[in-house]
Chain A
């Protein structure tokens, strides 16, 4: 068994024989032509033919992968007849007297280099487009026909780098997955693979070799892992993973774009918890309605020193723009307890879970906190941002944090930097103290999000990492559920919305209880969105509400 790590750019698992894509190679001859006018006419004919082919490809792409894919070939068409491109070729043929193949090769390389040198990932990737167009014209000039897939069974296709037009021209019923040696995540091959739902892994270099051809290979586009000649255990594991994905896909197709609404018409928002800007793909793929918890810790954990305002701003802005107007709740720095960072230079504590952590550190280090708040408010101009403070126990903490928000807004106004006026401020309810005074806290915030992991461990005095506690740790403990009910009622009295962003939110055994309590939002990991939606849509709250709430509040001993 050979295991190879690449970069997964289109998720899914595929199993099949490895097939190495070979291009029909055309050697470019270079010579002086006798009649420059005839050579120019040869180029013009090839250019016309290329434009015609690209038109047909655009239609094929439109049918297979939609307007976005088709537009790629329309861009290629425009490049093929671009005035500057044509002028450069004209000068090569008519002034230098070179043959069309040589001139198109040179001009193509020259334009591709211009794009490749641009300091912008999107524009650099356009170098492949110019090369692709030039290659097409050269093939027409020299009469080369591109090779397809010569196999009777579907294959995992490996190549050095596929040009976008090659990707579309290939017979997709023959392709189970893509592996390329080079490439980037924003290349059209990656985009097309994603659109067509074919797993793809790029950037494997020279690890996939000629000798591997025909052998069984598994690609996992989610992890970027490639296995050649899998052993029985790996094979079985991946087959199960594939089945699971297909099942999820089916569920997705059935439930996508449907509302999270019970049979009797009660709606609940299902958002996602994420820890990285890249996780947004998973949120959108699973049809999450927004982001209910974006843990900002990764910014701190990825750095050797305090992350700068600019660095944070870019990350927040990316998530907000990618979510395209859907709500994004970003939790401010939650360092401390089990998440320690050297450069914070926190003194060692005997009991870090009850120590200097999260909002407490932020309020004690206002300059560090303000850097994050500035980045957040600047990013608020790019989407619908809500800010959430973790680890609150008192009203004064929230007031002090909000005061810092006001200072930051005043600074930004003075500097002429744009920010949104509609940023909601909320808090995590994860300490028993916050739950008990939630009636007061609701007066100073816009929303609550109940962090059930910490709330449970603090309420039950049980460390959730301690496996020995066993039967003493009960995630469904009525103390926690009663607190959730109380917090939700207090929120609603003051016009705040109330949600859950802990693991409990995805617990389908409690969905009916949460609906009965009247929670407005559940924020769960992206993969839990659709199972939760399914559960909500199966529920009739009016049938279960009274009994569930009676059980929860009754004085009869059940547990």
Chain B
């Protein structure tokens, strides 16, 4: 008897749930069946007419019905929720092809990029970054570097003097090395690089600039060889111009080094076959270097019988011109078009 009733509700529910189309209807069904006076809740009142031996069976059947309802309800509820969310998402659709809001993108000057990459390599090799004044004493820029007044090599670097012959705009960053050696009074090893602005009385054209950037390195220690300089240079060359680069030294002359060398890299454009960039030689000169001249060591308070070392120097403009394919040095200092600057706002990796 109660079986029929339960079965009837069961049947009825199937139809009812099948026809639900929104959450309001679903909630109404819940009230209709499970509410205080709901059809399923009402079944409980039948218990008093059920024979004792069947009471247990009845209870189980009512519970099964309740569970069935709840499961079905939850299932449909979830489906309806998903449907609502999907409808909301669809209604929020935008045209993602429209442009994004532009965030200002800063950029490092191409010379700064080169300097920073050299700094990070050489600092990892233990070099400190040291600065010095651009208005410098002749004593530090020339005299102590084995360039006494009237020395033929002063010819090549005609200099801007600012007061008599005592002060000048430094023509190289080497005076920083002198200052550093004097500071350590011949007592400690030195490993420094000194990037900075330098000045020469050159007329500005595509390859000359009266202001330019140098970065010199100085290493003073014990039992240092020209091979150590070559290895150091090779690390720099590979970092800047790629692992495939080979290097060579050519004899040269700087008053502050002995022996002195020009540092060449195999041409990155033609890999040594000969092209426009290397003027057919397969090699590109990128810097000058040498073993620190004992005269300079002595001038700066280091005993050459105890200490030795090497120094090297790069023209940052030259490196940047080679690396970025710039063919006019004035690009670095004049007519900065911000569109050009922004070419240098990204990282290479």
Partners in one complex: no
